[in-house]
Amino acid sequence: YLTCEDLDCGVQENRDCDEGLIDEDAECTTCLEGFIDDEGWCREVDTCAWLVCGDLNRECDEGGVSEDAECTGCLEGFVDEFGDCNAKFTCAELLCEEVEYRECDAGGANEHDECGACLPSAMDTGFECVPYLTCEDLDCGVQENRDCDEGLIDEDAECTTCLEGFIDDEGWCREVDTCAWLDCGDFNRACDEGGVSEDAECTGCLPGFYEDNWDCVPYLTCDDLGCDINEARDCDEGGIDEDAQCTDCLPGYIENFEWCEERITCAMLGCDIFENRECLDGSPDEHDECGDCLPGYVEVGGFCEEE
């Protein structure tokens, strides 16, 4: 009868051997440990080292001593899609916040991360997430000369009041009028600078000027009046807020009603030469005049005749 030694099952067929009874042949039986029956043949079991499941981005189950190893589920960070294990989309790759203004929902180890609801700083239109306007977007200071209010997280920023140094003029912020710009002095007026957001304003007349039909007219000065030339009078400049005025007649002139006339003097009269009379000196505000006949002359019919 055939023995296990005759059959050499382990070498020839990768099987165990049963010697059987004394009156029957030995027999090759089950596959050796580490081998598996594959359609009547004992072949080595597939191992994880042989399968290289990692190249397919899958886990590997080693099986038993007589079981093939098997590629199983996708490795962590990979998603099973139609039988292939593809790398999962991550929040870092999706750029949900930067591109779509959405929050990013982290999936499981074998699920894609995905963009979710709109960020608090963006408005959901039903089709897309639109970021609320920020003060940086509006650039209020440059575009409108206004301050900016960022508002709450779920509303647009808003341009507000005019910047310091600007004033609202029918909805537009323009620079305030300054005294330097108004040139009030050209109109003989003082200037009030106003506040940081108020226009400067031309106010009352400057010292030395007075209001005359909305114009600031200078008070008359002695130079303006020309009292000495035009009226032969002295001049009083008066105070800073009053006109100068012509006063008394100049020395050598006397008042004659409203006029100053030159005082007639003895030198001018020539009484001794022309009328043979003495000359009487009047007071400073009276004319000199011819008087009695000179010694050696007598009055005859209104004339002085030699005796």
Per-residue pLDDT at 282: 86
What value, to the nearest 5°, has the Cα angle with vertex 259 and ends 256 and 263?
55
Q: Tokens at residue 44, please?
A: 């080595």
CB burial readout 153-169, b (16+ within 10 A) else e: eeebbebeebbeebbee
Q: Return d(Cα 22, Cα 27) in angstroms, integer.
A: 12
The model's pLDDT over 210-268, given as tens digits with 9 standing for 90+, comes to: 999 999 999 999 999 999 999 999 999 988 889 999 999 999 999 988 899 999 999 99
With the C-alpha atoms ordered 289, 292, 295, 300, is the resulting torsion angle positive or negative?
positive
- Polymer length of the chain: 307
Q: Tokens at residue 57, please?
A: 């981005």
Can you count the helices (H) and strands (E) in the chain?
Answer: 10, 28
Q: Is residue 164 classed as helix, strand or coil in its secondary structure?
A: coil
pTM of the shown model: 0.47
**108 DSSP assignment:** -
Per-residue pLDDT at 95: 95
With a CB cutoff of 8 Å and minimum separation 6, the contacts of 59 are 53, 71, 72, 73, 74, 75
> Which own/partner pairs from 110-119 qualify as long-range (CB within 8 Å, at least 24 positions apart)?
110/73, 110/74, 110/76, 110/77, 110/78, 110/79, 110/80, 111/79, 112/79, 112/88, 113/88, 113/89, 114/89
Per-residue pLDDT at 64: 81
Per-residue pLDDT at 22: 86
Per-residue pLDDT at 258: 86
Q: How many C-beta atoms lie closer than 10 Å to residue 74's C-beta?
A: 21
SS in 3 state form for 277-292?
A: EEEECCCCCCCCEEEE
Per-residue pLDDT at 25: 92
Per-residue pLDDT at 86: 97
Between the two ends of the chain, the Cα-to-Cα distance in Å is: 220
Residue-by-residue pLDDT tens, the chain, 307 positions = 788 999 999 999 999 999 989 889 999 999 999 999 999 899 999 999 999 999 999 999 998 888 999 999 999 999 999 999 999 999 999 999 999 999 999 999 999 999 999 999 999 999 999 999 999 999 999 999 999 999 898 899 999 999 999 999 999 999 999 999 999 999 999 999 988 889 999 999 999 999 999 999 999 999 999 999 999 999 999 888 899 999 999 999 999 888 999 999 999 999 999 999 999 998 888 999 999 999 999 999 999 999 8
Per-residue pLDDT at 284: 86
The model's pLDDT over 66-78, given as tens digits with 9 standing for 90+, comes to: 899 999 999 999 9
Kindly state the helix (H) or strand (E) to which residue 180 belongs, with its residue range.
helix 179-182
* Amino acid of residue 12: Q
Q: Is residue 253 classed as helix, strand or coil in its secondary structure?
A: strand
